[in-house]
Structure 1
Amino acid sequence: MPDSRPGGVPEGGPRAVVLDIEGTTGSLGHVRDVLFPYARARLAPWLAEHRGSAPWRRILDAVAAHTGAAHDEASALALLEQWADADVKAAPLKALQGLIWSGGYAAGELSGHVYPDVPPALEQWKAQGTGRFIYSSGSVAAQRDWFGHTAHGDLRPLLDGYFDLTTAGPKAHTDSYRAIAAELGHDPGDLLFVSDVGAELDAAAGAGWRTVAVRRPDDERAAVPGHVTVASLAPLVSRPGEERPTASDRTHTQEDRNHE
């Protein structure tokens, strides 16, 4: 039975927590204003520099698999640029962005933005024996680079694994969360998904997961309807998990955020 404390988060934590990145553990603006432009400017140079290599072939093959038609470098590049400009969650684009960002991280030109409450939350979940996973549209390689190069140091030792479009499926599809639950070997009700996107949270809830929405203080979007909303991960560590929120739960949490 849910407790009645502020935030609507009951006692009895989840077996594992699965976290989104953009807008949840890291700044949405960092992705939009730093990472995306960095990769967009380097799509053509990367393909030209790696022409004929195994990674180059994998990208072209991925574009062909995604579209159902063969593509040479020029036509593949045109599609990749179109997808980048429209922010299409296409696996070939995400894979290439990850490769480009990896070079940027290695060169010290990029870093992954992580909110300051994230490292202590991960540390406490680890100490509690709670599994800690990331699920993002970005490739697994990009996720590892993000958490491996932060202002708080290398956070990868605090994470147990990663899921992306190719390993779990689209984030707004209920079957994706069923697949993750099966992979983790836990009942859906023992898993908590934390995200800033309503469609993703709805999909997870549809698969039987616990869900919590995040609205960071720098995020001007409206609260996510139907899900308890928090402004940081701290309340989830002290009172992890949640069941179906009530209207009073959501109102209280939103009021707390407005007064921070």
Structure 2
Amino acid sequence: MTAALTFDGLDSVVLDIEGTTSATGFVVDVLYPYSRERFGALLAERGAEPAVRRAADQVREAAGEPAADAARIERILGGWLDEDRKATPLKTLQGIIWSEGFARGDLVSHFYPDTIPALRRWHAAGLRLHVYSSGSVAAQRAWFGHTPEGDLLPLVEGFYDTENAGPKQSPESYAAITAAIGAEPARTLFLSDRPGELDAARAAGWRTVGVRRPGEPYFEQGVGDHPEAACLDELTLTRRTP
């Protein structure tokens, strides 16, 4: 078991989702198949909607196939899912599908048992909570809005993805979030299971914790030289005093 960690003088906590607050297996085993089954209908029936059309054009550009029709785009998306590629248009279309699935009650998000109590505890202590995930903002909002314990959106101040912030292993993305949330980098703590993301956040001046949960894809890789926690219960976070 890792030792307890204390971080004083914080303003903001930014959380990854998969592998940090929630099980990657749930996303892969439940959400990915749900979206795979619905890409075709979304592209064929709602291709004229601005968000769908824009994402489809981004798929064509990324694949180098400007004439790709809806059926071909569906196959490309399926291939990206098989590769677990963090492509923005894939995440956009998944976000549309998942948001509607959560709203219908088809889906309920997953959180590790220690996560929701920790989020409530930190929020009550005056810390500003944000989310930065490769999943689209729409998917993130649906995830936090439809949990086993109800709507957690009031706990979270802001949501960031690869479109409104940038790639998760780029320090510039974390600098962009710093500018958006208006918190000093040294008073911002980032929680993630991926060492490349932690390195990028630290390069932008953030404080970091690697969350290393057994069974997650990055568990064996470790978190490099970042402070390590096995669960959020091991973190004691306090807000800066005026």
TM-score, length of structure 2 as denominator length:
0.88
Where 2:190 maps in the other structure, the secondary structure is strand
Question: Paired residue for 1:105?
Answer: 102
* Structure 2: stretches of 5+ with no match in the other structure: none
Q: Which has the higher contact order (CA 8 A, sep 6+)?
A: 2
Mapped pair 1:31 → 2:31: no
Separation (CA, whole Å) in 2 of partners of 1:116 and 1:105: 20
* Structure 1: stretches of 5+ with no match in the other structure: 242-260
Cα gap change, 1:56/1:224 in structure 2, threshold over 3 Å: closer, same or farther? closer
The Cα of 1:85 is off from its aligned counterpart by 1.8
Question: Paired residue for 1:199?
Answer: 196
Separation (CA, whole Å) in 2 of partners of 1:188 and 1:54: 35
Choose between structure 1 and 2: higher strand proportion: 2
The Cα of 1:146 is off from its aligned counterpart by 0.6
Aligned residues: 235
Percentage identity across paired residues of the two chains: 49
Where 2:10 maps in the other structure, the secondary structure is coil
Separation (CA, whole Å) in 1 of partners of 2:126 and 2:61: 40
TM-score, length of structure 1 as denominator length:
0.83
Mapped pair 1:16 → 2:15: no
Question: Paired residue for 1:190?
Answer: 187
Contact 1:27/1:115 (<8 A) preserved:
yes
Pick one of 203, 207, 210 that aligns with 2:207.
210
Contact 2:194/2:223 (<8 A) preserved:
yes
Separation (CA, whole Å) in 2 of partners of 1:118 and 1:170: 25
Separation (CA, whole Å) in 2 of partners of 1:160 and 1:176: 18
The Cα of 1:57 is off from its aligned counterpart by 1.8
Contact 1:66/1:92 (<8 A) preserved:
no
The Cα of 1:56 is off from its aligned counterpart by 3.1
Separation (CA, whole Å) in 2 of partners of 1:56 and 1:168: 20
Superposed, 1:48-87 pairs within 5 Å as 48-64=44-60, 66=62, 70-71=66-67, 72-87=69-84
Question: Paired residue for 1:227?
Answer: 226
Cα RMSD after superposing both structures: 2.2
Pick one of 116, 131, 135 that aligns with 2:132.
135
Pick one of 162, 168, 171 that aligns with 2:165.
168
Where 2:8 maps in the other structure, the secondary structure is coil
